[in-house]
Structure 1
Amino acid sequence: MTNNQPAPDGVMRLINGYWNTGIIGAAATHSVFTHLENGAGTAAEVAARAEISERGAQSLLDGLVSVGLAVLQDGRYRNTPEASAFLVDGKPASLAGFAKLKLQHLHSVTDLPEVVRVGGPLAGGETEVADNPHWEGIVPAIAAVSVPAAHVGVEALGIADAGEISILDVGGGSGIYSSIWLKANPAARAVQLDWEPINKIALRLVAEHGVADRFTTVNGDFHTTDFGTAAYDIAVYSHIAHQESPESNIEVFTRFREALKPGGALVIADYVVDDDRSGPAFPLLFALEMLLKSKEGGTWRRSDYHDWLVKAGFEDISFHAAPPATVVIAR
């Protein structure tokens, strides 16, 4: 093959991309990243600590080197900085649970050709329903996804020094924003509006962070439950807009505007794409998940959020990076 001809290596890696999910999910299942973090450095050591076969440990370590989550130096393996930060059990931003969750979703990708043809999820493909039996696994697993955005909010809004503020988190899931923000500000209080099965999980998880005395829940569907009037200093709408239609987002943003006190801020976190849809890479990829799982959702552009928020009555709108998400703050 001459130098000016393309090589198939990159295409082969992409075609076999499901192995990335498999390798990371299996390694997370057996806490391989945690064992590497704690000093295991060979296949034999990992196998002994994880109680798996040495052959299996070696294959996982080879795979982790291949996908760039482990390095081999002087005959010993160790985590890359990314693996150390985001895949070690027990760390605040650990995505290990999320990796295990995605391993269970691999089968759904086989529906994609038909989903692309019809333009939406197949029968039974939607997951955003109150009685989804998988919330107990999903809600804690996806909590870490919002940790970077929650910390961006702390800094951008000066939450630590804001005094006695009231927070409304709509569709708050695990309560991760409340957990982080109430820790940052001992005078703050938070209310989460979500379905009852999810709120029960949130109450438990927020209690584990030691701030349950300032956290309350309202059971309901945010489409129909009143947010109140001029009641909150900050409102949160995290990773919900992508599942809603443009019309629904404008309607919800308008109700948020009414629920906020004068000068109050709405915080939206989501996977936002550039106006020309040229990037970023992960939000572009996530659009396919919305095609699989929602009837009207998508990954919306910066200009979409700006236009919707203006129509809802907001005037000061800013965008803040929290890769792979974007935090939108509107006043």
Structure 2
Amino acid sequence: MITPTPLMEITTGYWAFKTLAAAVELDLFGRLSGGRVVTQQEVQQELDLPERPADLLLAACASLGLLERSGTGYRNTELAEQFLVPGRPHYFGGQVRYCDERTYLPYHRLGEALRADRPLTWDPQTQESLFTTADPGMLAMFWEAMYSTSSFTARSLGEAYDFGAHRRLLDVGGGAGAFPVELCRRYPQLRATVFDLPHVRAKAEEKITAAGLADRIGTASGNFLTDPALPTGHDVILLSMILHDWNETQNRAILARCHAALPPGGAIVVCELLLDDDRTGPRSAALMGMTMLVETEGGRNYSGAEYADWLVDAGFTDVRVVAFDAPGANGAVIARRP
């Protein structure tokens, strides 16, 4: 018998997210780091919460797989310990905070975005793009969120596609450099350049230095939308979670610049949350497309077939798609310049 249970799960999806966001805001998981076990009474005292809210928060976090019972208390699960403790290498709290503070409330006006076809989180009439903001704190939160998501996505990409034959990687729109850092760690012969806006370059250099890879990863300033050419001297170009921000015309122009920058035999790797060719899923890619409606002027999530068509039109050959599972992407479209 069909029931409305699936609709109930969709309708109440924000319950889980806002519970996670509140726990991150309170630094609940940081306080339980290192295997520490706390009782409800200790949580009340340390977080300055009354008895009922403390009880409900702990039960909710346990139901979400973030906490587990240990005797009369609670401790972090492995998931929370790895990704929700501040200071850990792949801290995911920045992504949680960014979504909570940047996109959650604008999503309340999704109907407006659907009717007007314009972003809700920034004003195109007063700002150059969604990547510029008057709030430095929000911008810093954005790059931390992207770095966390990108780090694990880069690991999955490095397992799905063999960069062993390449020597020089150009990460176009590489942000804080998570992909080159992870790929250079996995492939010792690889050297890389992060190409991004000048104010992003400093963030990338900070992360690269912290990773101990300044001798293998460099940076270059530029704008892949407006610069007439990309840096040359690389045998593989990576577009990681970039093209979903832009419309088809802009993406075709970016791919043409990539083709021009590569030598014969060079490869391009487009890493994205790919829609199925019939545009019925997967859910992560389709709903990311709705976020593009809220956050961008012309972005959307595209299918592997769409990227393949654009790559062929740009002059690439041997197009193929590799699938993998990661928080920021589910596959990569790979092609070669003949």
TM-score by length of 2: 0.84
What amino acid does structure 1 have at the position aligned with 2:298? E
Secondary structure, counterpart of 1:263 in structure 2: coil
Which residues of 2 match residues 37-186 of structure 1 at below 5 A?
Answer: 38-46=35-43, 51-53=47-49, 55=51, 56-72=53-69, 75-105=72-102, 106-122=104-120, 124-125=122-123, 128-130=130-132, 133=135, 134-159=138-163, 161-162=164-165, 165-186=167-188
Give runs of aligned pairs for residues 1-331 of structure 1, distance below 5 A: 4=1, 6-7=3-4, 10-34=6-30, 35=32, 38-46=35-43, 51-53=47-49, 55=51, 56-72=53-69, 75-105=72-102, 106-122=104-120, 124-125=122-123, 128-130=130-132, 133=135, 134-159=138-163, 161-162=164-165, 165-225=167-227, 226-229=229-232, 231-316=233-318, 317-324=320-327, 325=329, 326-331=331-336
Change (3 A) 1:236 1:69: same
How far 1:262 sits from its partner (Å)? 2.7
Per-residue Cα deviation, 1:212-260 (whole angstroms, up to 9, x for no partner)? 233322222111222145x212211111111111122122112212222
Judged with a 3 Å threshold, the aligned counterparts in structure 2 of structure 1 residues 321 and 11 are, in CA distance, closer, same or farther, namely: same
Unaligned runs of at least 5 residues, structure 1: none
Aligned partners of 2:261 and 2:69: how far apart in 1? 54
1:76 to 1:218, Cα distance in 2 relative to 1, 3 A:
same
Q: Which amino acid aligns with 1:276?
A: D
Structure 2 gap segments, 5+ residues each: none
Contact persistence 1:148–1:322 (CA under 8 A): no
Q: Which amino acid aligns with 1:330?
A: A
CA contact (8 A) 1:268 1:328 kept: yes
What is the rounded CA distance, in whole Å, between the counterparts of 1:45 and 1:36 in structure 2?
15
- SS of the counterpart of 2:212? coil
Paired with 2:230 and 2:2, the residues of 1 have a C-alpha distance of 59
1: CA distance between counterparts of 2:134 and 2:272? 22
Write the letter of the residue equivalent to 2:40: A
**Structure 1 residue 46: deviation in Å?**
4.4
8 A Cα contact 1:153 1:267, kept in partner? no
**Aligned partners of 2:75 and 2:333: how far apart in 1?**
36
CA 144–196 in structure 1, closer or farther in 2 if over 3 Å, else same: same
Between 100-109 and 35-44, the greater mean CA deviation after superposition? 35-44
Aligned length: 323
Coordinate RMSD, CA, aligned? 2.7
Q: Secondary structure at the match of 2:37?
A: coil
**Larger displacement relative to structure 2 (70-79 or 57-66):** 70-79
Structure 1, 321-330 or 242-251: larger mean CA deviation: 321-330
Q: Percent identity?
A: 30
- Native 8 Å contact 1:115 1:121 kept in 2: yes
**Structure 1 residues 132 and 306, CA, compared in 2 at 3 Å: closer, same or farther?**
farther
Q: 1:222 to 1:32 in 2, by over 3 A?
A: same
For residues 169-189 of structure 1, what are the alpha-carbon distances to aligned partners after superposition, in whole Å with 9 as ceiling and x for unaligned? 111111101211233344432
Relative to 1, partners in 2 of residues 1:81 and 1:178: Cα closer, same or farther, differing over 3 Å?
Answer: same
Normalization by structure 1: what TM-score?
Answer: 0.86
Range moving further from structure 2, 117-126 or 135-144: 117-126
Checking the alignment, whether the CA contact within 8 Å between 2:156 and 2:326 is kept in structure 1 is no
Q: 1:158 to 1:271 in 2, by over 3 A?
A: closer
Residue-by-residue CA offset, 1:54-102 (whole Å, 9 max, x unaligned) = 6344332222234343344654434455444433434443312111221
